[in-house]
Amino acid sequence: MAFEGLAEKLSNSFKKLRGKGKLNEGDVKEAMREVRLALLEADVNYKVAKELTGKITERAIGAEVMESLTPAQMVIKIVNEELTSLMGGSEERLKMPAHPPAVIMMCGLQGAGKTTHAAKLAYMLKSQGRRPLLVAGDVYRPAAIKQLQVMGEKAGAPVFERGTQDPVETAKEAVKHARDYGHDYVLIDTAGRLQIDEQLMDELRRMKEAVNPTDVLLVVDAMIGQESVNVAKTFDELLDITGVILTKLDGDTRGGAALSIKAVTGKPILYIGMGEKLSDLEQFYPDRMASRILGMGDILSLIEKAEMEVDQEKARELSQKLKKAEFDFNDFLDQMNQIKKMGGMASIMSMMPGMPQMKGDVEIDDSAMDRVEAIILSMTKQERANPSILNPSRKQRIARGAGVSIQEVNRIVKQFDQMKKMMKQLPGMMGGGKRRGLGGMFGKMKLPF
C-alpha cells in the first residue's frame, strides 16, 4: 500500500523520541534529519521535504514542546499538522455552478486512467443522487469510445458520443444535450498522449474555451513518482487545472507525489484511486491522509467505506445470529464477500490506528481468503449450514474440490468451531483484549471481524 515504507520509517523515528523524558534541540534536529531522509526515499520533492522539516523543526524546538510532559507526542502533533497543511489543509470538492450542468474536463497522459476514472467519478456522483453524463472525447485511441460505453453502462451513466468528429464539437453538443435532458454533471473523457505535445494541448485549450468547464481535472498515475509532479506542473501552466485525481495509490508506490503536488502546483488533490473497481475512488482528505502516514489510522474513511459497501440488512441478520450463536459457514462466506468489497483485510487494517507499528506482529494475507472461500464453496449447502456433519470422508472430498490439503480443511473447521464458542462468550470477552477468532483463518493475525 502507498506510504507503507514512509509510515514505517516515521514510526521508527518517533519511537526514539518517545524513549526520552525531555527533548533538547539536538534530539529534534536528529529526528527531523531522519524524517527528511524518509520523505526523500518516499520520492517527495527535495525542496518540499526541506521546507516541511524546516517548519517542523522551528515549531518543535519552541518552549511549547520542550516544556511539555510528553514532548514526543507534541512533535508528532506538529508533524501531523504540517503534513495536513502541505497536502492542502482541508478537502476540496467539485464546483457546482448556479445553473447546471457542471462541466468537468478529464485530462492527462495516455495510460494514466482517464477513461476508467471518468467512469469511477460518474459512479460516485450517481451514488450521491446526481445525474452524470459521460462524453467520449478521445477519438484517437483504438476502442476508447467502446471502453467508455462499457464502463458507463457498469456505472449506470449514459455516454454521449459522435464517433470520430472533432472532439471540441462533440463536447459542445454534449453540454447542450445535458441541459436539455437534465444532467447535472458532464464528464468529458479527453484524448491523452504518451507525452505532452502541442497538438494535444491545442485541442484541450480549444475545448476549454468552447465549453468553459467548471473544473479541469488532471488524472495522474502515482506510480511514476516525481514525474507525476512534473506532468501536473506542465498541464497547470498550459491549462490552469483546478485539481488532480491521483491513481494507483493502492499499489506499490512510495506516495511522494501526494505530498508534493499541492506544494509544487498549488492545485489540490480531489480524489484518489484505490483499486480497480468502480467503487474504488475516494475523496481526498489531507488530514486523514496525514493520519494514515503517521500510523494513526483513518477510521472516518473506514466507516464511510463500510456504509457504502456493507449490506445493512445482512449485517442486522448476522447480529441476530451472533446473539443466538447460530453463525454458520454461509454467514462466514457473506462476511468475506463484504470484506472483499471494502478492499480486503490489508486495506481495512491500513486504516486502523497503530497498524504500521504492529507490522512485525501482524501478518495480513488476503490471498488466504481465496483459499478459505474455495474450501467453503466446495461444501454442500447442508455442510455449510451444519458443519458438525463434516466427517473425514466429507473433508477429503472438500479438500479435493478446493485443491488444498486435508490438514488445511481441518484447520479451518477447527478454527470455525473455536470462533463459534467465542461468539457465545462475546459479551464477556469484549473488554478482555483477547485477539482470537475468525481472523486466525487468514494468517498469523487473530482478530474477530
Looking at residue 349, its pLDDT comes to 59
Residue 200 lies in a domain: yes
pLDDT tens digits in sequence order for the chain, 449 residues long: 556 667 777 777 777 777 666 667 787 788 888 888 888 887 787 888 888 888 888 887 765 555 555 667 777 788 888 888 888 887 888 988 888 899 999 998 888 889 999 999 999 999 899 999 999 999 888 888 999 999 999 999 999 999 888 999 999 999 999 999 999 999 999 988 766 678 888 899 999 999 999 999 999 887 776 777 788 888 888 889 999 998 887 655 566 776 788 888 888 989 988 878 888 888 888 888 887 777 655 455 555 555 555 555 665 665 566 555 567 888 778 777 776 666 655 566 555 555 544 444 445 555 677 788 889 899 998 888 888 898 999 999 999 998 989 998 998 888 887 777 766 655 444 344 433 444 444 443 343 33
Q: Are 348 and 366 in contact (CB under 8 A)?
A: no
Residue 449 lies in a domain: no
Neighbouring residues of 388: CB distance < 8 A, sequence distance ≥ 6: none
Residues 332 and 286 in one domain: no
Residue 448 lies in a domain: no
Residues 333 and 434 in one domain: yes
Residues 155 and 70 in one domain: no
Residue 97 lies in a domain: no
Residue 447 lies in a domain: no
Q: Give the Cα separation of 163 and 260 in Å (integer).
A: 38
Residues 167 and 272 in one domain: yes
Q: Is the pTM of this model over 0.85?
A: no
Residues 282 and 308 in one domain: no
Looking at residue 301, its pLDDT comes to 53
Q: Which amino acid is at 88?
A: G
Q: Give the Cα separation of 197 and 347 in Å (integer).
A: 38
Residue 319 lies in a domain: yes
Residues 269 and 339 in one domain: no
Three cell numbers, residue 305: 467505506
Q: Give the Cα separation of 439 and 104 in Å (integer).
A: 43
Torsion sign across C-alpha atoms 263, 267, 290, 223 = negative
Residues 224 and 310 in one domain: no
CATH code, domain carrying 229: 3.40.50.300
Last residue within a domain, chosen from 238, 266, 294 = 294
CB atoms closer than 10 angstroms to residue 162: 17
Residues 63 and 136 in one domain: no
Q: Give the Cα separation of 287 and 9 in Å (integer).
A: 19
Give the pLDDT confidence of 316-334 residue by residue, as tens digits.
Answer: 665 566 555 567 888 778 7
Last residue within a domain, chosen from 86, 113, 129 = 86
CB atoms closer than 10 angstroms to residue 195: 9
Residue 193 lies in a domain: yes
Residues 115 and 192 in one domain: yes
Looking at residue 344, its pLDDT comes to 58
Residue 92 lies in a domain: no
Total domain count for the chain?
3
Residues 194 and 283 in one domain: yes
Residues 348 and 436 in one domain: yes
Residues 78 and 130 in one domain: no
Q: Is 244 left (phi over 0), alpha (psi -120 to 50) or beta?
A: beta
Which structural domain, as residue segments, surrounds residue 23? Answer: 4-86
Last residue within a domain, chosen from 33, 52, 86 = 86
CATH code, domain carrying 28: 1.20.120.140
Looking at residue 19, its pLDDT comes to 66
